[in-house]
Amino acid sequence: MKISFPHMGYSYIALKWLVENLGHECIVPPEPSKRTLDLGVRHAPEFACIPYKILMGTYLEVAEMGAELILSSGGRGPCRAGYYWVMHRYLLEELGLDVKLIAFEPPLNDLKGFFKTIHWLRKTGGRSVKEVLNALEVTWEKIKALDDLELCSHETRPYEVNRGDTTRALWKGLDMVDQANTLAELAEARHEGLRLLESVPRDNSRNPLKIGIIGEIYVVLEPAANHYIQIMLGEMGVHTDRSIYLSAYTRNNTIVNLEGDIKAMARPYLNADTIGGHGVNSVAETVLYAKHGFDGVVQLAPFACIPEIVAKGILPTISQEYGIPVLTIFIDEQTGKAGVQTRLEAFVDLLQRRRENKAKSERLAI
């Protein structure tokens, strides 16, 4: 069977390997482009958020490329993303396309359905249980390796001497992870990739600004959706820390994971256990970044994203109390790269000025 899935950051490298090792052919989803978005916008409801539109476009593109089955994710709400697959299925039916769409509901809510789908994929691919378990393990390790490399690239980029070196090294590393087929090969690829990134010529005398990136998972993880914001900021000489990684809950080297109960952080401002998506996280993470001495926070969200709008309504209070500037960027199909860049440059200028003023007043005090 020809199987495809949504494009989200670099995860396609790991998922491609998984699909192939379940005994199926993989149609690798193309990186979301202007065409993807145009296709999506044409068929999606006007006020659906941008991830919905990009996914819609991606599905139409992979259907053109011959995909017979699309694997997607479900959800338990109240974020709209959990209902995407139902609407996507309706729309694919309306367009008369011969492509099947199956969603994995969260295993915590629907363990049986989750295993049923995996089992069905295994049988149609003709693999043994042992092979599948091994494939799942390698895939997970791949996701972790991809995240490790990306994390390292964001730490390196603000120090690079020649602009673009880090991104080139990252791609070499990603290719190596892509080629790896066993756990041993993967460990080597990861090691080699990190070494490549570490050997990028650095200017360690710089003292980069630190910006935390928070917001809705899809636009935070998919560089093509957020106009490569982290690379853009990195090349402006800014150190960025992102709150979301696919492998996040297993790692202890990101700021967000250093703290225990993230919801407790949000409680003084937003007294709800969840408002869907990453709404509560966005509130809590702004507090966290402020406490860890970051210079500013950028909130990324799709236009009309419900949880992030609630968060946006609350962030000004935190911004005032902790004295940390927050820039909210709502992304839709009209958002242009130049617009994002101009706003980021202005924001970075503002942060730079704040830092200089702070240093000045501290000197005067002595």
Question: What's the closest the beta carbon of residue 275 comes to another protein, in angstroms?
Answer: 4
Confirm if 237 and 209 have CB atoms less than 8 A apart. yes
**What's at 105, amino acid-wise?**
E
Q: For residue 89, state whether it binds another protein (rule: CB under 8 A).
A: yes
Q: Compute how many other C-beta atoms are within 10 angstroms of the C-beta atom of residue 111.
A: 11
For residues 265, 208, 213, 360, the Cα torsion angle rounded to the nearest 10 degrees is: 50
Question: What's the closest the beta carbon of residue 200 comes to another protein, in angstroms?
Answer: 39
- From the number of C-beta atoms within 10 Å of its C-beta (0-12, 13-18, 19+), residue 258 rates as exposed
**What's at 263, amino acid-wise?**
K
Kindly indicate which of the ranges 84-92, 134-142, 181-189, 225-233 contains the residues binding another protein, using the contact rule CB under 8 A.
84-92
Please pick, from the candidates 31, 42, 65, 86, the single residue that binds another protein as defined by CB under 8 A.
Answer: 86
Please pick, from the candidates 34, 45, 95, 337, the single residue that binds another protein as defined by CB under 8 A.
Answer: 45
Question: What's the closest the beta carbon of residue 260 comes to another protein, in angstroms?
Answer: 16
Kindly indicate which of the ranges 131-139, 195-203, 216-224, 272-280 contains the residues binding another protein, using the contact rule CB under 8 A.
272-280
By beta-carbon proximity to another protein, the closer residue of 83 and 171 is: 83
Q: For residue 90, state whether it binds another protein (rule: CB under 8 A).
A: yes
Question: What's the closest the beta carbon of residue 303 comes to another protein, in angstroms?
Answer: 8
> Which residues from 283-342 bind another protein, rule CB under 8 A?
303-307, 309-314, 316-317, 330
Q: For residue 262, state whether it binds another protein (rule: CB under 8 A).
A: no
Gap between the Cα atoms of 167 and 72, Å rounded: 29
Q: For residue 94, state whether it binds another protein (rule: CB under 8 A).
A: yes
Listed in sequence order, the residues at least 6 apart from 341 whose beta carbon sits closer than 8 Å to its beta carbon are: 227, 232
Residue bearing tokens 């005994």: 23
Please pick, from the candidates 6, 29, 57, 74, the single residue that binds another protein as defined by CB under 8 A.
Answer: 74
Listed in sequence order, the residues at least 6 apart from 147 whose beta carbon sits closer than 8 Å to its beta carbon are: 245, 246, 247, 248, 251
Q: For residue 272, state whether it binds another protein (rule: CB under 8 A).
A: yes
Confirm if 151 and 243 have CB atoms less than 8 A apart. no
Report residue 301 as tokens: 């969200």
Question: What's the closest the beta carbon of residue 282 comes to another protein, in angstroms?
Answer: 11
Question: What's the closest the beta carbon of residue 359 comes to another protein, in angstroms?
Answer: 32
Gap between the Cα atoms of 353 and 172, Å rounded: 37
Gap between the Cα atoms of 124 and 121, Å rounded: 5
Question: What's the closest the beta carbon of residue 54 comes to another protein, in angstroms?
Answer: 15
Q: Judged by CB under 8 A, how many residues of this single chain contact another protein?
A: 47
Gap between the Cα atoms of 97 and 64, Å rounded: 9
Contacts with another protein by CB under 8 A lie at 45-49, 52, 74, 76-80, 82-83, 86-87, 89-91, 94, 105, 109-110, 269-277, 279, 303-307, 309-314, 316-317, 330
